């Protein structure tokens, strides 16, 4: 347990020490999204009967949680691999489960810190409700854990920073941007509505937003089931890779 | 029967078509100061990496004080301290934070007394709160040594520990390592400074192309080519060219 706690604390301390880059910058980015989109669309668009800004805020919070959870585990691992300092984690008697749990929970921690920061600065611009806080917490934790785990996979798989950037720009960014952060999928043509239902991030955003307003594109139970199954499958895959020592132990 | 500190049995490892280890057998007794020598690419670092669990052998078995490094990796790693060859460090932390974190990985809390002792012996006390990025190459090397010692391992493997370290600091490092050996720690050393191996190691193995081609006490190796006593460097050259 001390080994797990140490690795988790070290990962938290790592992002905390560069908080300008890892916390303040994504909060500012989300704020800019809100200012621009709200300025353009507030008077023209209502979604699920909500003012556009109110609809947008939970989506931006969740998107920040997801992107930063991914960034934390993936950047820490690729940096350790490129510099060689990963050896300090591989030499001690830490099990592959401890390795996974510590990196993922630290990723969730960063996602939540950034998410709370985004909520704190954007909440002033919208009339938010918290009708079901349990759903908010559940989807924040599951979403952070899924993207944190995906970050572990990407960090282990990538040998170079540009490979990780490709993973981030060509997979994570499209999945998060095309997930209903900025719109309801009911506003899309039927074909793209159907495509959106294959994007697991859509269920994370939709379920998270349900916790604020009690309205969503699909039932939160459906979203929870999809997100739960995705987490279980991805965790099993990642643990199997770590147990084999994939790209870590030659 | 006494369990050897290190037992390597029939270990082979290929990287693609390159044979890094070709059926290596080796036993190192507890308390030995052992030298592992060879040219670049001989397989020394691969052997050490296999011992540390960083490399998985294709065949054979490695044990640290009777603990299989694969089947009982936790037991084996607790008993082993490895100083890696590359000058690696985590740029986010100070020297003391680095050593506390490393202690925690081995399940040790409240290790500051031992950390202070290591820092003192490696002449790092004044740099305890300095960020790792601010240290010279020689100091970073000494922190690597400190990291390998935080959990007081009975078996210590030093992969080129004095590369880039100036003469004065090198002497201090050897005094500390010698003291650890006198206290009962098993030391396994790889180095390209053959005079260091000659003066410190009681027994030496020489590797070439993934195989051990000479294994004897240092005294016997120096007498290996007739009655004439050669330096270890001369013996090394002759063995490699034989």
The helix/strand/coil state of A2 is helix
Digits of tens for pLDDT over chain A (250 positions)?
Answer: 899 999 999 999 999 999 999 999 999 988 888 888 777 766 777 767 778 788 888 999 999 999 999 999 999 999 999 888 899 999 999 999 999 999 999 999 999 999 999 999 888 888 878 889 999 999 999 999 999 999 999 999 998 899 888 888 888 888 888 887 777 777 778 888 888 889 899 999 999 999 998 888 889 999 999 999 999 999 999 999 999 989 888 8
Q: How confident is the model at residue B227 (pLDDT cuts 50, 70, 90)?
A: low
Question: A-chain residues within 8 Å CB-CB of B102?
Answer: 88, 92
Q: Quick check: B122 pLDDT over 90? A: no
A10 chain-B contacts, CB cut-off 8 A: 93, 101, 104
- Cβ–Cβ under 8 Å, residues B37 and B191: yes
> Touching check for B23 and chain A: CB below 8 Å?
no
B77 and chain A in contact, CB less than 8 A = yes
C-alpha–C-alpha distance, residues A66 and A141, integer Å: 10
Write out pLDDT tens, residues B56-97: 999 999 999 999 999 999 999 999 999 988 888 888 899 999
Residue A243's closest chain B neighbor by CA? B70
CA dihedral A69, A74, A75, A77 (to 10 degrees): 130
Residue identified by tokens 């294994």 is: B215
- CATH classification (class only), B6-241: alpha beta
Distance from the A227 Cα atom to the nearest Cα atom in chain B, whole angstroms: 32
Two structure tokens written together for A193 = 């509505």
Inter-chain touch B104–A245, beta carbons under 8 Å: no
Cβ separation of B92 and A18 shorter than 8 Å? yes
Please state whether beta strands A46-47 and B203-208 pair in parallel, antiparallel, or not at all (unpaired). unpaired
* Residue extents of the structural domains in chain A: 2-244
More confident residue, B105 or B198: B105
Q: Do A87 and B54 touch (CB under 8 A)?
A: yes
**How does strand B33-37 pair with strand B203-208?**
parallel
User: Which residue's entry shows tokens 């969503």?
Assistant: A216
Q: Is B232 on the interface with A (CB under 8 A)?
A: no
Confidence of residue B231 (pLDDT cuts 50, 70, 90): confident
* CA-to-CA dists, residue B59 to B13, B23, B117, angstroms: 7, 8, 40
Confidence tier at B173 by pLDDT (50, 70, 90): confident
For residue B231, give how far its alpha carbon lies from the nearest alpha carbon of chain A (Å): 35
Q: What is the predicted pLDDT for the residue at A211? A: 92
Please tell me which of the candidates B75, B91, B107 has its beta carbon nearest to residue A3.
B107
Answer yes or no: do A85 and B55 touch at CB < 8 A. no
The DSSP annotation for B95-145 comes to HHHHHHHHHHHTT--S-HHHHHHHHHHTT-GGGTTSBGGGS-HHHHHHHHH
Could you tell me how many residues make up chain A? Answer: 250
Which residues, including other chains, have CB under 8 Å from residue A153's CB and lie 6 or more apart? A234, A237, A238, A241
Residue B229 is classified by DSSP as P
- For A110, A174, A197, A204, the CA distances from A107, given in Å and listed in that order, are 5, 20, 26, 16
Average pLDDT value over all residues in chain B: 88
Average pLDDT over every residue of B38-42: 86
Give A219→chain B minimum CA distance, Å.
Answer: 43
- Distance, in Å, from the CA atom of B156 to the CA atom of B83, rounded to the nearest integer, reads 8
Residue A93: closest C-alpha in chain B: B74
**Among A111, A128, A120, A37, which residue's Cα sits nearest to residue A71?**
A111
Angstroms from B23 CA to nearest CA on chain A: 18
Q: B110 CB contacts (<8 Å, ≥6 apart)?
A: none
Distance CA A231, CA A146 (A): 5
Say which of A3, A17, A85 has its CB closest to residue B105.
A3
Residue in B54, B77, B102 nearest the CB of A93: B77
Yes or no, beta carbons of B90 and A249 under 8 Å apart: no
- Residue in B closest to A17 by C-alpha: B92
From the candidates A92, A102, A248, which should be mutated to test the interface with B, based on the most B CB atoms within 10 A? A92
CA atoms within 13 A on the CB side of A16: 11
Which of B64, B74, B92 would best serve as a mutation to test chain A binding (most A beta carbons within 10 A)?
B92
Query: How far is the C-alpha of B176 from the C-alpha of B118, rounded, in Å?
Result: 9
B88 touches chain A (CB under 8 A): yes
B82 neighbors A91 (Cβ within 8 angstroms): yes
Nearest chain B Cα distance for residue A59, angstroms: 32
B8 contacts: CB under 8 Å, gap ≥ 6: B24, B25, B26, B27, B47, B51, B60, B61, B62, B63
- What number is the average pLDDT over the span B157-171? 80
Contacts of A90 in chain B (CB under 8 A): 52-54
Place of tokens 């016997």: B220
Question: Which residues numbered 106-135 in B keep a CB inside 8 Å of some CB on A?
Answer: 106-109
CB pairs A-B closer than 8 Å: 80
Among B80, B62, B68, CA closest to B25: B62
Please tell me which of the candidates A14, A80, A250 has its beta carbon nearest to residue B55: A250
Which 3 state secondary structure label does DSSP give B216?
strand
């Amino acid at each position: 347990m001390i080994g797990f706690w140490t690795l988790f604390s070290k990962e938290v301390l790592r992002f905390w020490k560069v908080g300008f880059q890892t916390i303040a910058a994504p909060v500012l980015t989300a704020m800019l999204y809100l200012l621009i989109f709200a300025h353009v669309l507030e008077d023209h668009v209502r979604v699920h009967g909500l003012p556009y800004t109110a609809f947008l805020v939970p989506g931006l919070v969740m998107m920040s949680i997801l992107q930063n959870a991914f960034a934390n585990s993936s950047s820490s691992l690729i940096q350790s691999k490129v510099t060689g300092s990963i050896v300090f984690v591989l030499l001690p008697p830490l099990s592959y489960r401890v390795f996974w749990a510590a990196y993922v929970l630290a990723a969730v921690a960063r996602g939540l810190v950034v998410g709370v920061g985004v909520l704190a600065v954007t909440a002033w611009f919208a009339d938010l409700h918290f009708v079901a806080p349990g759903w908010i917490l559940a989807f924040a934790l599951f979403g952070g854990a899924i993207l944190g785990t995906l970050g572990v996979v990407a960090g282990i798989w990538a040998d170079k920073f540009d490979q990780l950037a490709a993973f981030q720009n060509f997979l994570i960014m499209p999945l998060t941007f095309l997930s209903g952060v900025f719109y309801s999928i009911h506003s899309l043509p039927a074909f793209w509505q159907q495509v959106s239902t294959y994007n697991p991030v859509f269920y994370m955003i939709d379920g998270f937003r349900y916790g604020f307003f009690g309205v969503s594109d699909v039932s939160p139970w459906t979203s929870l089931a999809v997100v739960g199954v995705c987490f279980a499958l991805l965790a099993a895959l990642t643990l199997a890779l770590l147990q084999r020592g994939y790209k870590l132990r030659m | 029967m006494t369990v050897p500190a290190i037992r390597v049995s029939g270990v082979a490892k290929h990287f693609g078509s390159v044979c890094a280890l070709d059926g290596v057998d080796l036993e190192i007794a507890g308390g030995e100061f052992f030298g592992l020598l060879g040219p670049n690419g001989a397989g020394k670092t691969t052997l050490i990496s296999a011992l540390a669990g960083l490399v998985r052998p294709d065949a054979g078995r490695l044990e640290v004080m009777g603990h299989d490094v694969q089947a009982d990796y936790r037991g084996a790693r607790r008993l082993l301290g490895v100083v890696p060859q590359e000058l690696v460090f985590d740029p986010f932390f100070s020297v003391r934070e680095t050593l506390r974190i490393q202690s925690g990985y081995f399940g040790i809390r409240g290790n500051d007394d031992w950390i202070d002792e290591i820092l003192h012996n490696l002449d790092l006390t004044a740099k305890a709160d300095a960020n790792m990025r601010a240290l010279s190459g020689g100091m970073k090397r000494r922190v690597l040594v400190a990291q390998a010692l935080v959990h007081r391992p009975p078996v210590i493997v030093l992969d080129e520990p004095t590369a880039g370290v100036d003469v004065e600091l090198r002497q201090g490092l050897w005094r500390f390592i010698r003291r650890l050996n006198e206290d009962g720690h098993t030391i396994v050393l790889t180095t390209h400074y053959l005079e260091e191996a000659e003066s410190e190691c009681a027994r030496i193995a020489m590797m070439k192309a993934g195989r051990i081609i000479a294994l004897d006490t240092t005294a016997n190796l120096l007498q290996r080519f007739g009655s004439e006593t050669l330096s270890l460097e001369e013996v090394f050259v002759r063995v490699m060219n034989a």
